Structure 1
Amino acid sequence: MLLELLPVGIMRFSPIKSPQWLFQLPCKVIVFLSVWATTTLAQVRPAESFTLTGQLSQPSRGKVRVLNQDSTQAYSAPIVGSRFVLKGKLAEPGLYLVQIDTNAHLYPVFLEGSPMQMTVQKNGTYQLNGSSLHHQWKSYTDFLDSTRNQLIRLYQARSLAKQQGDTVLFNQLWAENNSVSRSYFSYRSDLIARQPYTFFNLFLLEDAGQDDEYTVNMLNKYRPILGRYPTFQLLEEALKRRADERQKIAIGQQAYNFTLPDSTGATYSLASVRTAKKLILVDFWASWCGPCIMEFPNLKALHKKYATQGLEIIGISIDAQPTQWLGALTRLRPAGLQLILPDKIKSLVTRQYVVDAVPQTFLIDQKGIIRGYNLQGEELDKKIADLLAETR
């Protein structure tokens, strides 16, 4: 399973950018060392002038307002009859909302440094010409809307199949869900890598929830064309800060000793579990995270293979709602000891383990030393076997 219609969890949601609450987008964060091209922010490109000329379906009074993503006003202009002309400067292109007078209806527009024309119809539909970025964004959101509708249909159909006890149909619907998921991820990845590079590539990359190694590689490709945009430079600085923070979870470092509850309320510390076992695999996950859930069969197989040799798995849920976590435990039955991060210490633990996306896994030995990080497949299997062999 890659995508599923599920509640927000802790994911950042923006009403302007792609509606991430529909998708289990966060991907594994990979430790990496990168040669950063710059140690300070490069020169920012100068602001570009734009003009947005609007034609309304009927005369109106008041102002047209262009709002930022946080709903604060960025630009405004008076409405004269059924027209308006709004001018300003953009530090970089971006997605905004246009509000006509005090009308509650908001129109998403991707503004760039060019003359643009907006036409609003009486039925609320609208067109924006003169912005190639807007057309790229519109094409993407049309595909996103189609994907969302398919996922809603599949979610409803699965719920009905589950109620009726139709396991065959339920599994068929899951397979269809996977196909829709892969189609979406493939489409988005193609757009992020599509040339010639435009600001829309950067816009999608920033919002995609990809692992940092992938993001760094794409930024290096974008750099000659997009490197002077503020978004590029802020994203690169954020990546560098995270790389610096991850030194605390580097191989050989002492793992933070957490104490967390299970589904019954009983508490377990990392220290108590690791001293009773030879090797601990700590898995940070969430019920809304598709990549996390996809790893469960592999983790179950590893637990079955190595539990008698001293391996224990500790699953740590970052779910905001315990009921979602409990439902996932019942439905998915993940391997090992399953704990949850209470709100009062969630920030502390995620900061100590630098959990900014999930899934994220650690191999921790009996002494509490981190011996492996975000390994998968055969590489993880071999590492576990090697570490257990050291204790014989």
Structure 2
Amino acid sequence: MKISKLVLSVLLLPAMAWAQTPNFSLTGKIGNLGKPAMAYIDYMDNGVGHEDSVALVNGSFKFTGYVSGNSYARMALDHSGGGKGKAVYTGDVIYFYFGKEQVTITSKDSLENAVFSGSKVYQEYDAYNKAIGGTIMALTKAVNADFNSGTPEQQKDSTFKSHVDLRFRKNIQNRTDKQFVFAKEHPESYFALVALSEAAGSKVDVAKVQPLFNALKKEYQTTDMGKELAQRISANEITAVGKPAPLFTQNDVVGKPISLASLKGKVVLVEFWASWCGPCRAENPNLVKQYKTYKDKGFEIISVSLDNVKERWLEAIEKDQLDWLHVSDLKGWNNEVGRLYGVRAVPASFLVDAQGKIIGNGLRGEPLNKKLAELFN
């Protein structure tokens, strides 16, 4: 029996409405803050980003929405009307997980000192952090306190700074080791996936990570985070030197599809970057110089941006005078090409020869210049 599109649409309306019915709330009470105080939230739901904001009235605020599962959030509180940017980067900020729950967040003075109630997911997240030695933010705060504990003379001393950095790196490594242990000992926990995803890093030790991933509950493996980790594991093999570069097509700045396959016959640098990435922007003058030197000899650059705001992407291209191919789907860290190549940090690059094989990973600065000189001179 055939069903008309109109009838089918009508039949789907109740299901669509139900799917969008709010299934979480985050209700806050922070002292007695009022105008111009604002609360801002950014959260990920299965790979899709969402954001919202609300004014505080007598210290109270509330966010509601729909999530398909556990979600990672950043919440920032602007106490004095400085705007979201200031609140996020220099203000009162917390990071946490929540689920399909009615969560209450309370504090006398700030988000940083807030107490969560009504969230089983947050309780599990808190227990996970205690098991691995704290969040990255907590360790960063600790190292800043470690440095600030020194005298002005010590803070200028390279040996003192080196020791502070060494202690920080040791704490980070200890945390990573504990994440692997957590993933192994708690495969039924969602935070085993969180631990494994973070601990695996960009250069995945497949022999170590794959068995732990396979032991996770299937429902976690099929989340967006699970799929991304699976892609990263796969990318470790398919992006190795000597392998054919994974082919892709993505739109350029005017919406025209550009494919890597169309560049066969040229030496191509597949460069992953973003307008907000300081090290990327610092490397751009060198790329400009190398491109001018070798573009007429068969060298091409295709830059894949992990931006999610087109205006910022275009502004950076123009300001840095990047006169080569640029593509992006403006999905940020969920850029499909970035995920295909297992990119978890920028800058990242893959040098591809005229036959389409990868001949270099992570080359930039002098190592890249030397390799290009060998190829073209």
If the length of structure 2 is used for normalisation, what is the TM-score? 0.47
Task: Tell which has more relative contact order, 1 or 2 (C-alpha 8 A, sep 6+).
Answer: 1
If the length of structure 1 is used for normalisation, what is the TM-score? 0.45
